[in-house]
Amino acid sequence: MKAFRLLSRTKLYWGLVIICLIGALTSPMTSSGKNIFLSYGNLTDVLRQVSITGLVATGMTMVILLGGIDLSVGSVMGFATVICAMLLTKPGWTAASVMGVPAAVAVSGAAVALLARFILRGLARGRDVSAGRRADIVLSPLRGVWMPALLGLIAAVAVAWFTVSQVQVKFGVLGVLLVTPCLALLLGAINGLLVVSGRLQPFIVTLAMMVSALGIARLTAGQDNAVVPVYTGSNATAAFEFLRSMLWGVLPVPSVFFLVAIVLFGAILRFTTFGRYAYAIGGNVEAAKLSGIKVGQVQFTAYLLSGLLAGIAGVLFVAQYRQGKPDAGTGLELDAIAAVVIGGTSLMGGRGGLAGTFVGVLIFGLLSDILQLQNIDSNVQLLMKGLIIVGTVLVQEQTVGHLIARWRFSRSHGLPADPKSADPDRLPSATKARFAREDLDEAS
Amino acid sequence: MKRRDFIKLSTSVAGAVATIYLPGGWRAAKAAGKWRVGFSQCTTLEPWRVQFNKDIQAEAKNHPDVDLVITDGQDKTEKQVADCENLVVQQVNVLLISPKESAGLTGVVEKAIDAKIPVIVLDRNVDTKRITQFIGGDNVAIGKAAGEHAVKLLGGPGKAAGNVVEIWGGMGTQPAHDRHDGFHAFTDKEGGIKNLLNNQSGDWKQDKAYNIMTTALRNNEKIDLVYGHNDPMAYGAYLAAKDAGRDKDIKFIIGIDGLPDEGVTWVNNGQLTATFLYATPGAEGLRQAVKLLKGEKLEPVITLPTMLITKENAPDILKKNGLL
């Protein structure tokens, strides 16, 4: 039984191992007898190819954990690619820089101000040991308002100076990495605002954003440009090539972004109050509200971050494929959702995590790579991907241990065990097996 | 924020935006021309379609007595049907349509014909014989031209040898199948030509072709020729080869479409070996419509010829389009 539990605890990783084994065993060889699938170049190719979907899936995981959904990420990424490509290739005040510069100034000012306030509050909490973790800290107006505001203003001015100086020439790597995600973050913020303050269904809000972001992207690009090409070294700065190069010859830069996002947000979900709140809200919104969690703030932040990550993904898309186009992210939201679900995050919210998403994204990427190496017909590839999604989710939901437990239970009691009756989110005194399952889900 | 406040705020913001921007974008329909020609375009998301619209608009400038109304079907059959119905209601004198697909648009084309509006169909045909004219390129012929050229590059008929990577357009689209069939009509005769990939679709997209080529490069140590069903995919394959440091090993990369700012530019830069023009029927379509309005009789079908674009003639084309 212990072995089974271990097996079902780690089932997610077994999927990955099996896929890798299949890949290694079926892989074609080079003429010198080297396994192509296992070659370092191929594996880093896969990591690079999944980075864009992976970044988007990272944001999507947080939104889905809260019981929401973000359908707009694909369009927002498309919008980001257009903005990024235009900033890189067109000097002066174009539609992209007119929107981007104020957005970057506002977002960076606000971000620095909030961060300063957060740190000051943390310091005050540290000084006043008796207050404890839960108590509300009341900051003096100087620390609570003026110092953060001043710091935010300084940051805003610095960013304004920097971006305006970039507008005259074309934007460089730092410029686009700053401005593009800020704009995408604002689109995410609109999603969040509509969901939280407008109290609308996330599905509808983000669907609307999906449609309108495509429209905005096309308006920004202009009627005569279905594609904004980026030729580094000729119409854009050659330094931009950094974003598709290999970092120290070891890891492709896009995958560094992806890995950092996974680790950073994984840590936030696991170790911070924000993360704990996210699980609590996803598990039961009403209970979370009643226990004093500011549900709106957490939800708003999740949509915001989802937009931000889609924006970064957009910059990486431009770097990799040398073009910005409004429809760059068509279907991306569905790929991201599929990866999140394969990773074991429940679409109902409250269960799952980023390690799962990482595995889900990798499973997807490795699968495409294997099918491509096997030179399998594109139509068959689509079919196989569908089968894999269903298969993995089946294994995810009906755990091996669970199936066996049910079989044993029904044999010893003559009753069918109902998997729905003891939902860990609603029943605090769940059975031991249930706790084990919950642990597993949190660990993943 | 309270919900009511939020709604108030958002309404006032929307109102403010509308009052500032709407008057600027609002122009009264002008009725200067003698004739109104409606053109229903199926999408403007692809560069080729953008060029198509540019061509027809440029041609419209030569005919001051024609008012051209262009609609965008946004790549949806139902939107394009609605667009056409709208143009019929506006009683345009001629309806030009470049349908998204054959079956879905046939009904509305017949409706227009029933309303005594002559219809000229561009690029993709519809399933009715009652249309006035069809203008389009011949994808099979273009595929054949590409295949013939590929055989020539790889050593000439009877002696051609080499490994060929073919990147398909969308599997569900007729042009991809035509471009495939035409190409293979020539290359399949050559015993020395080996096709490395089995129906790999890049969906007409540069990024997907890039990823297909990345894996193909891992999988095959020797690739001699890449044939992309359009230029962006051929270019995506070139980029993948370049990023893998193998762009010098691949001798020939062939694309199709020959848009000035894409294929022709890339050929001129030496990134693609050749591309084949798939001319947009925009200018020709409007010319034919004007002919019809002036009372001339039209031929039922006009097939636009293709053209081989290589480094020799690329600069001329770029100069003609003001890109060089």
- In chain B, residues with a C-beta closer than 8 Å to the C-beta of A369 are 215
End-to-end, the C-alpha distance of chain B in Å comes to 56
Nearest to B39 by CA among B286, B280, B279: B286
Any A CB within 8 A of B211 CB:
yes
Question: Which chain B residue is nearest to residue A198, measuring alpha carbons?
Answer: B3
Interface touch A197/B201, C-beta < 8 Å: no
Name which residue leads in pLDDT, B288 or A31.
Answer: B288
DSSP state at residue B258: -
Q: Which residue has the tokens 């848009």?
A: B259
Interface touch A244/B243, C-beta < 8 Å: yes
Question: Which chain B residue is nearest to residue A297, measuring alpha carbons?
Answer: B1
d(CA B252, CA B255): 10
Interface touch B218/A36, C-beta < 8 Å: yes
Answer for the pair A14, A395: CB distance below 8 angstroms, yes or no: no
Any A CB within 8 A of B11 CB:
no
Rounded mean pLDDT, A198-212: 91
Q: Which residue has the tokens 């994808």?
A: B139
Residue-range domain boundaries for chain A? 52-90+171-381, 101-169
Q: List the domains of chain B with CATH numbers.
A: 35-131 (3.40.50.2300), 139-279+313-319 (3.40.50.2300)
Nearest to A328 by CA among B178, B206, B43, B279: B206
d(CA A433, CA A378): 43
Any A CB within 8 A of B299 CB:
no
Question: Which chain B residue is nearest to residue A194, measuring alpha carbons?
Answer: B6
Distance from CA of A103 to the nearest CA of B (A): 17
- Best B51, B71, B180, B207 residue to mutate vs chain A (most A CBs within 10 Å): B207
Rounded mean pLDDT, A192-214: 90
Interface touch B50/A226, C-beta < 8 Å: yes
Question: Which chain A residue is nearest to residue B239, measuring alpha carbons?
Answer: A321
**Lowest-pLDDT choice from A180-184, A318-322, A394-398, B201-205:** A394-398
pLDDT band for A403, please (50, 70, 90 cuts).
low
Interface touch B3/A199, C-beta < 8 Å: yes
DSSP state at residue A285: H
- Best B5, B43, B45, B259 residue to mutate vs chain A (most A CBs within 10 Å): B45
Distance from CA of A13 to the nearest CA of B (A): 25
Determine the residue type at B318: L
Interface touch A198/B232, C-beta < 8 Å: no
pLDDT band for A337, please (50, 70, 90 cuts).
very high
Answer for the pair A208, A76: CB distance below 8 angstroms, yes or no: no
Cβ contacts of residue B136 below 8 Å, gap of 6+?
B121, B122, B123, B124, B125, B281, B302, B303, B304
Interface touch A45/B218, C-beta < 8 Å: yes
Q: Say whether domain A52-90+171-381 belongs to CATH 1.10.3470.
A: yes
Q: What CA–CA distances, in Å, run from A341 to A310, A359, A363?
A: 18, 11, 12
- Best B46, B48, B55, B211 residue to mutate vs chain A (most A CBs within 10 Å): B211
Question: Which chain A residue is nearest to residue B50, measuring alpha carbons?
Answer: A224
Q: Chains A and B: how many Cβ contacts under 8 Å?
A: 87
Strand runs labelled E in A278-385 = 323-324
- ipTM surpassing 0.90: no
Rounded mean pLDDT, B104-115: 88
What was the pLDDT predicted at A434? 44
- Model pTM score: 0.79
Buried-exposed string B206-221: b where 16+ CB fall within 10 A, e elsewhere: bbbbbbbbbbbbbbbe
Distance from CA of B255 to the nearest CA of A (A): 17
Strand B200-201 to strand B274-277: parallel, antiparallel, or no bridges (unpaired)?
unpaired
Interface touch B215/A227, C-beta < 8 Å: no
Ordered DSSP codes for B58-96: HHHHT-TTEEEEEEE-TT-HHHHHHHHHHHHHTT-SEEE
Any A CB within 8 A of B177 CB:
no
Query: Which tens digit of pLDDT belongs to each residue from A31-61?
Result: 777 788 888 888 888 888 899 999 999 999 9
Cβ contacts of residue B157 below 8 Å, gap of 6+?
B151, B189, B190
Query: Which tens digit of pLDDT belongs to each residue from B127-158?
Result: 888 888 999 888 899 999 998 888 888 888 88
Give Rg (Cα) of chain A. 24
Query: Which tens digit of pLDDT belongs to each residue from B10-51?
Result: 788 777 766 665 554 444 444 556 888 999 998 887 888 888
Query: Which tens digit of pLDDT belongs to each residue from A132-170?
Result: 655 666 777 777 788 888 888 988 888 888 888 888 888
Ordered DSSP codes for B169-230: S-TT-HHHHHHHHHHHHHHTT-TEEEE--SSEE-TT-HHHHHHHHHHHHHH-S---EEEESS
Q: What CA–CA distances, in Å, run from B176 to A378, A396, B169, B306?
A: 13, 39, 5, 16
Residues 62-91 of B with CB under 8 A from A: none
Any A CB within 8 A of B44 CB:
yes
Quote the percentage of chain A above a pLDDT of 70.
Answer: 85
Average pLDDT over chain A, rounded to an integer: 82
What was the pLDDT predicted at A74? 93
Q: Measured at the alpha carbon of residue B78, what is the angle toward residues B74 and B83, in degrees to the nearest 5?
A: 70
Interface touch A45/B54, C-beta < 8 Å: no
